[in-house]
Structure 1
Amino acid sequence: MSEIRPQCPLCAGEMKKNGKRNARTRWRCKNATCGVSEQTYRPDITAKHHFTYFHNHVTGIYPITECARLMKVSTRTVYRYFEPLWLIEIPNNPDRHRIHDQIFIDGTYTAAGCLLIASTSDHVLCWHWCKHETTHAYTQLLSKLAAPLCVVLDGGQGAQAAIKKLWPNTLIQRCLIHAQRVVRRYVTSRPRTEAGREIYNLALELTSRETVQQARKWAVDLHKYGIKHHDFLNEKTPLPPEIDRTGKRYEFTHRRVRSAYNSLTNLHKKGHLFIYLTPPKQAIDKKSWASNTNRLEGGINSQLKFIARCHRGRGGERQRKMLEWWLYNKTPLPDDPHKIARQQNWGKDQLAKVHVLTHTENHTNHETGRPALYDNAIPTEYNHSVGIRKGTIR
């Protein structure tokens, strides 16, 4: 096999091996009139070596000190190696033309902000960073995907509004475990009244419905509950005159039990409880439809929280990059991370853009007659306005 030999940087002639220095091969030009000697460097191999440790660090539980021990360098050197690698952009471009049977959406809060995730039963589809779970945030998340047959969610109003806006024909399955939690939040796990105990038992029976007949029986029991405790739920208590609640003279006596009952009746009227039992004809795998978001919360969100705890103290943009690398590895067809980093020159292209922007952005000042984009400091030369120099005038 022919050996790849470097060319002479002076005469472009062929070079030959000329021993080693510091464990690196030295090359010498064969041309007697030239005789240039040099060592060749492969910065791409070095960058790939650093990125391997970086990727294992951000997607695993290894701390910086462990990376320093394996790389046989100091911790400060590892920080310097990893500095440009944090600027690599992670792809977040799902297939906009693939239609899924059922997807799961949910948000989890981290030190870097609120992370909205859309996934299937075994893969991550896309994600979006925001401050809160609002309609606009969920719209940005769902606009990256084609309309699925069904969406399973935990009951956020922002998610439902975004689905109705983008996918009006998509079915909505409310997570039954979250529906149970809403009832438990109103009546507690040990209700004191008979009506509270009965509505809590109805909520507990939600997750055990496996056939359409059982779901219909549950709906009949809920209807009978409303008839049986109609007077109890509608009892009102007059408010004292000193209590001003926007002109209301009465309030419901058992408002917490009433709220628990209304939470279940509203979901049943909207048809958000038992969609998983009657999937549409277009569904490919009708037996695998889920009634809760456990596959997203237990399989993805919990792992993200675990990685964040292992690297506690890291927040902001770097924590976002760390979690995005883990999410990207869970996508259906992820590319080789080394290939992504190599295409972006191991983050050095983004680092060069940062230096260019910070050094060339501010070209104007007050002497040119135009306002500066930002000032570097208060001028030290004499100014007749002492208040500006003292900081009393802003």
Structure 2
Amino acid sequence: MCRDTLQRTFYQLLEQAPRIKIIKREGVHFRIDATYFAKFCVVCYQDDYDGYTQLLRFTDGEHYEEIREDLANLLKLGIQIESITSDGHKSALKAIRKSVPDAIVQRCLVHIQRMCLIWLTRYPRHPAGQQLRRLVLQILKIETENDRIYWTREFLSWHEFHKDYLNERTYNTETGRYWYTHKLLRRSYITIKRALPNMFHYLSNPAIPKTTNGIEGYFSHLKNHLDIHRGLTVKHRINFIKWYIYFTNEK
């Protein structure tokens, strides 16, 4: 088959797209994540068991109403959701609480670790930052209940020892306003504190994924393929993604 024929066939395929089939399943452990392209965003609902993508939404961002609607539709179509692993986006967490209140919510440990390491920097100057960074680096190494107890105790002790430093404020004489002096250190602490109740569900149920790495790797692979065809219109890019999901689901 010549190059022109292949190219013509390729673009004919991109004029339409297959429907993603939703498979009725019980006890599903979902990974939910979003990835951004130049002119749109894709929210993906993927079964961690075999990487099957049950639903895609093409949108402009991660919105509560849309995620709530997606989860409600998945339930109506026979998907029994046992747990959802998420990066902790506020809209997603709110939608899960509304649509699937009985589902276990597992926070992605890689996302927590990654963000805290960015805020803490590689070489924190103050001992509080240095110590918290060491704790953050241990998060993915927690594999037993004893590990969890020890790490949590160390984290709470760290806060007790450094809470006065965390609460230091700086006063602006021109505006008359205060702000927290060590805001990035404080942001790291608050991120972990808020996520803590949902960080270690995987210890009691190994079927629950502790990260969204599987779906992030999936997105990376998809983007590598899509980058080969950079001249595609938005419509063709969206249909390319749908074909990609369709073929990976059919493996």
Corresponding position of 2:70: 141
Shift of 1:87: 3.4
Code of the aligned partner of 2:162: H
Code of the aligned partner of 1:72: C
Corresponding position of 2:231: 313
Cα distance, 1:238–1:81 mapped onto 2, change above 3 Å: closer
Shift of 1:88: 2.9
Corresponding position of 1:273: 199
Corresponding position of 2:143: 210
Structure (1/2) with the larger helix percentage:
2
Corresponding position of 2:61: 132
Deviation digits for residues 157-210 of structure 1 (CA, Å, limit 9, x no counterpart) = 111111111101111111111101221232212111100111111111110000
Corresponding position of 1:169: 102
Partner-residue secondary structure (3-state), 2:61: coil
Q: How does 1:1-394 map to 2 (within 5 A)?
A: 71-72=1-2, 75=4, 84-95=12-23, 97-121=24-48, 122=50, 123-145=52-74, 146-240=79-173, 242-243=174-175, 248=177, 250-268=178-196, 271-279=197-205, 287-298=206-217, 300-331=218-249, 334=250
1:106–1:296 Cα contact (<8 Å) kept: yes
Partner-residue secondary structure (3-state), 2:81: coil
**What runs of 5+ residues in structure 2 fail to find an aligned partner?**
none
Partner-residue secondary structure (3-state), 1:257: helix
Partner-residue secondary structure (3-state), 1:223: helix
Code of the aligned partner of 2:215: L
Code of the aligned partner of 2:234: G
Deviation digits for residues 220-273 of structure 1 (CA, Å, limit 9, x no counterpart) = 111101111122112222221x235xxx3x3222222122111111111xx110
- Aligned counterparts of 1:202 and 1:102: Cα–Cα separation in 2: 28
- Aligned counterparts of 2:185 and 2:231: Cα–Cα separation in 1: 43
2:170–2:181 Cα contact (<8 Å) kept: yes
Structure (1/2) with the larger strand percentage:
2
Partner-residue secondary structure (3-state), 1:143: helix
2:83–2:208 Cα contact (<8 Å) kept: no
- Aligned counterparts of 1:212 and 1:81: Cα–Cα separation in 2: 55
- Aligned counterparts of 2:139 and 2:6: Cα–Cα separation in 1: 52
Root-mean-square deviation (CA), in Å?
A: 2.1
Alignment length (residue pairs): 245
Normalised to the residue count of structure 1, the TM-score between the two structures is 0.58
- Aligned counterparts of 1:327 and 1:81: Cα–Cα separation in 2: 19
1:111–1:315 Cα contact (<8 Å) kept: no
Deviation digits for residues 277-309 of structure 1 (CA, Å, limit 9, x no counterpart) = 123xxxxxxx343211111111x1111111111
- Aligned counterparts of 2:28 and 2:151: Cα–Cα separation in 1: 26
Shift of 1:83: 5.4
Code of the aligned partner of 1:129: F
Code of the aligned partner of 2:70: L
2:135–2:155 Cα contact (<8 Å) kept: yes
Partner-residue secondary structure (3-state), 1:92: coil
2:17–2:243 Cα contact (<8 Å) kept: no
1:116–1:141 Cα contact (<8 Å) kept: no
User: Which structure would you say has the larger Rg?
Assistant: 1
- Aligned counterparts of 2:229 and 2:10: Cα–Cα separation in 1: 15
Partner-residue secondary structure (3-state), 2:41: strand
Greater RCO, CA 8 A, separation 6+: 2
